[in-house]
């Protein structure tokens, strides 16, 4: 089971990084010493979050890194005193810089320093850094932990407990613990079926954001299947529970970009990361207007792994195609036990309707948030055959909102009517709503 809050997660002085103890065993004692020395130096330079590391390059006597104050990136990308296009170019440059691998060649690192008008910082090590993969991966994780990262496209989940604030503190603690157990249980059960979810999570206070550390295209599909099993585990646990110990949840899945960072805890960076960006904003807006038990899927296009002949390929797919692909991949879920009963089959689909042209299409819903901004999502329905008993999860079509009011052609409005319409519009500004688009 992989979770960013798991016991035994690497600490600031133990030399363990991405891959944990397994990778550490593959690193020589000399290189472990290098990693510990590097971390000590980075922690001093980091200064409790005052500075962040952007990139690094190997040097025969140690490392070269680009260090900047934590406010530097915001200032560099701000459209103040420079043309708007230049500001956008700067933001694109920074996003590219903090995406993916942080290692640069020596020439590339000095080019970055020249563009940012920052001199590289030299970190001396006792011996040259090894080019072995476990060592380089450990350095990459160290650099990211003392910096900030950007991920262009990643699947993220949001589990939200309905009416959380209405429960007693004891009930709240019980419900969060129950939801946390469902996450851990689903992860363990999928691992036994050959689906590994290297998941991280952060609490929202009344739920969790969850994402897969794995960035391969197939990782989003694995995370989606993980979501289905968490929803199912929660539903079965709730049916068998008494009182308010197991939560009623509403769930959302979306794929998009975000920043990832480690906040300061005392004098060290925390052991688990936080994410913020377009994908978390979309999820929050979706869940804010979702109903109890509902599962929403955002509107997105993403890379999906597939096979073209004998060659593995990537293609951009829509939300509908992505969900269909996930549904076809649910075979390994069969046999998983929920409340001592085996899953015989599981399926999922977006709620559909027949359009005026006679074509069947997924029903798309428009979510207007408190700022008057629109977001789009689809309703997901899940069916499970649990030891011969049929479970229907999510909301069916009868519980979904219809289309917004339509207008018909009428005579030209009077000036008084226009004033009244404008007044009503101003009153409605900021009013949240979800309707079929």
Residue 305: give its domain's CATH number.
3.30.70.1230
Q: Are residues 323 and 211 in the same domain?
A: yes
* Cα 278 to Cα 89, 211, 257, 420, distances in angstroms: 19, 14, 6, 36
* 11 compared with 34, residue with greater pLDDT: 34
Q: Is residue 174 part of a domain?
A: yes
Count structural domains, the chain.
2
Q: Is residue 404 part of a domain?
A: no
Please tell me the least confidently modeled range out of 196-200, 226-230, 241-245, 270-274: 270-274
The answer to whether 314 and 217 have CB atoms below 8 angstroms apart is yes
Which of these three, 146, 165, 197, is where a domain ends?
146
Q: CA gyration radius for the chain?
A: 25
Which of these three, 87, 122, 146, is where a domain ends?
146
The answer to whether 364 and 380 have CB atoms below 8 angstroms apart is no
Mean pLDDT throughout 377-391? Answer: 96
Q: Is residue 26 part of a domain?
A: yes
- Which H helix or E strand runs over 288? helix 278-288
Q: Is residue 8 part of a domain?
A: no
Q: Is residue 305 part of a domain?
A: yes
Q: Are residues 34 and 160 in the same domain?
A: no
Q: List CB contacts of 431: < 8 A, sequence separation 6 or more.
A: 368, 370
What confidence tens digit (pLDDT) does each residue in 18-61 have? 444 455 667 899 999 999 999 999 999 998 889 999 999 999 88
Which percentage of the chain shows pLDDT scores above 70? 83
Decide if pLDDT at 421 tops 60: no
Calculate the average pLDDT of the chain.
86
Please tell me the least confidently modeled range out of 167-171, 340-344, 353-357: 353-357
Residue 211's φ and ψ, nearest 5 degrees, are -145, 165
pLDDT score of 263:
72
Q: Are residues 215 and 332 in the same domain?
A: yes
Q: Is residue 190 part of a domain?
A: yes
Which of these three, 146, 175, 197, is where a domain ends?
146
Q: Are residues 162 and 114 in the same domain?
A: no
Q: Are residues 334 and 223 in the same domain?
A: yes
Supply the pTM of this predicted model.
0.84
Q: Give the domain range for residue 39.
A: 20-146
Cα–Cα distance, 366 to 436 (Å, whole number): 6
Q: Are residues 59 and 181 in the same domain?
A: no
Cβ neighbourhood burial of 406 (10 Å; 0-12, 13-18, 19+)? exposed
Q: Got the DSSP string for 17-73? A: -TTHHHHHHTS-HHHHHHHHHHHHHHHHHHTTTTEEEEEEEEETTEEEEEEEETTHH
Q: Is residue 79 part of a domain?
A: yes
DSSP classification of residue 398: G
Q: Are residues 141 and 168 in the same domain?
A: no
Cα–Cα distance, 327 to 362 (Å, whole number): 15
Cα–Cα distance, 158 to 209 (Å, whole number): 5
pLDDT score of 355:
82
401 pLDDT tier (thresholds 50, 70, 90): confident
Q: Is residue 100 part of a domain?
A: yes
Q: Are residues 101 and 117 in the same domain?
A: yes
Token pair for 201: 């999570």
What confidence tens digit (pLDDT) does each residue in 251-283 have? 999 999 999 988 766 666 666 788 999 999 999
Q: Are residues 66 and 190 in the same domain?
A: no
Q: Are residues 221 and 117 in the same domain?
A: no
Cα–Cα distance, 103 to 64 (Å, whole number): 10
Please tell me the least confidently modeled range out of 73-77, 179-183, 190-194, 309-313: 309-313
Q: Are residues 42 and 106 in the same domain?
A: yes
Q: Are residues 70 and 200 in the same domain?
A: no
* Cα 276 to Cα 209, 256, 259, distances in angstroms: 10, 11, 5
């Amino acid at each position: 089971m992989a979770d960013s809050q798991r016991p035994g997660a690497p600490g600031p002085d133990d030399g363990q990084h991405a891959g944990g103890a397994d990778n550490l065993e593959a690193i020589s004692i000399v290189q472990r010493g290098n990693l510990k020395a590097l971390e000590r130096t980075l922690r001093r330079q980091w200064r409790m979050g005052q500075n962040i590391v952007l990139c690094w390059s190997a040097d025969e006597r140690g490392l070269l890194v680009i260090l900047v104050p934590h406010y530097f990136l915001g200032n560099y990308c701000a459209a103040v005193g420079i043309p708007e296009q230049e500001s956008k170019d700067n933001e694109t440059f920074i996003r590219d810089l903090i995406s993916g691998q942080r290692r640069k060649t020596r020439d590339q690192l000095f080019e970055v320093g020249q563009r940012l008008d920052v001199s590289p910082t030299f970190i001396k090590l006792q011996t040259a850094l090894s080019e072995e993969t476990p060592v380089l991966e450990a350095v990459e994780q160290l650099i990211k932990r003392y910096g900030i990262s950007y991920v262009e496209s990643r699947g993220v989940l949001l589990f939200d407990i309905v009416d959380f604030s209405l429960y007693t503190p004891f009930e709240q603690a019980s419900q969060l613990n129950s939801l946390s157990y469902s996450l851990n249980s689903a992860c363990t059960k999928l691992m036994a079926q050959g689906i590994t979810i290297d998941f991280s999570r952060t609490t929202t206070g009344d739920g969790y954001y969850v994402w897969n550390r794995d960035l391969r295209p197939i990782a989003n599909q694995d995370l989606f299947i993980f979501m289905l099993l968490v929803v199912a585990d929660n539903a079965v646990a709730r049916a068998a529970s008494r009182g308010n110990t197991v939560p009623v949840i509403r769930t959302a899945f979306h794929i998009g970009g975000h920043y990832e960072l480690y906040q300061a805890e005392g004098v060290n960076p925390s052991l688990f990361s936080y994410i913020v960006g377009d994908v978390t904003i979309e999820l929050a807006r979706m869940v804010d207007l979702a109903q109890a038990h509902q599962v929403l899927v955002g509107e997105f296009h993403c890379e999906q792994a597939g096979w073209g002949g004998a060659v593995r390929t990537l293609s951009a797919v829509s939300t509908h195609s992505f969900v269909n692909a996930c549904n076809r991949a649910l075979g390994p879920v069969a046999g998983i036990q929920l409340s001592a009963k085996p899953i015989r089959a599981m399926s999922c689909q977006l709620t559909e309707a027949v359009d005026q042209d006679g074509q069947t299409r997924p029903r798309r819903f428009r979510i207007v948030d408190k700022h008057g901004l629109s977001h789009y999502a689809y309703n997901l329905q899940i069916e499970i055959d649990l030891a011969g008993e049929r479970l229907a999860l999510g909301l069916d079509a009868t519980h979904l909102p219809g289309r917004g009011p339509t207008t018909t052609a009428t005579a030209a409005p009077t000036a008084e009517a226009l004033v009244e319409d404008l007044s009503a519009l101003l009153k409605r500004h900021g009013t949240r709503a979800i309707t079929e688009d």
